[in-house]
Structures are given as structure tokens and as C-alpha cells.
Amino acid sequence: MHYKASCPNCGKKISRRFIFCEPTIYHRCRGCGTRMRMGLGGWVATVVVLALAIGCHVLCRNRVISAPAAIILLLVLLASNIWLFPYISSVQLEQPKDTAP
């Protein structure tokens, strides 16, 4: 699989810790300093993971699945998200701000 979470300018890979632990929309490349943000694939993956987590919670609350099964499903979901997210999420450069009068 192709690692899509990398800097568009220098090609340096963005680590998983940097993706998940830095609470900003725009990330700065540690190699060249370029500002970038998550692409459409990353936002879609985030919404899908949140929808699946909410669905798992609803199944547990409606007693379709047991609480330990729901916890195991959530752990598998989150682990697979951490593993697959850099392969799904593309990166876009920050759009330059217009400072013209």
C-alpha cells in the first residue's frame, strides 16, 4: 500500500503520533517546514470511523451485542484506524492568504 500521509514538497512521511496527537488543523512538515492539512480522504475516513463507533454504541445500548463485545469492536476499530489512516488520508498544501489590498 502507498503511504499517502507525506509532505507534498519533500516527501517526508508524517508519523502516526504526529497525525493523532497534534490538535491542529494545519500541520507543519518537520523536514522542510511546509504547512499542510488533511485531504478529503482523511475527512471521509474520520467521519466513517465516528459513524461506526456511534453505531457500535447504539448496538450495545439496544442490547443487540454485549458490552464486552462492543468494547472489543471499538478497540479493533480504533486500532485499524491508527494502522490504516496514513494509507487513506492524503495531504494538501495550505492555501496562501491573499494580503493584497
pLDDT of residue 61: 96
Question: Quick check: 69 pLDDT over 90?
Answer: yes
Helices (H), 1-101: 16-21, 40-61, 67-88
Question: Quick check: 101 pLDDT over 70?
Answer: no
Q: How confident is the model at residue 99 (pLDDT cuts 50, 70, 90)?
A: low
Q: Give the contacts of 37 (CB within 8 A, at least 6 positions apart).
A: 25, 26, 27, 91, 92, 94
- pLDDT tens digits for range 37-67: 888 888 888 899 999 999 999 999 999 999 9
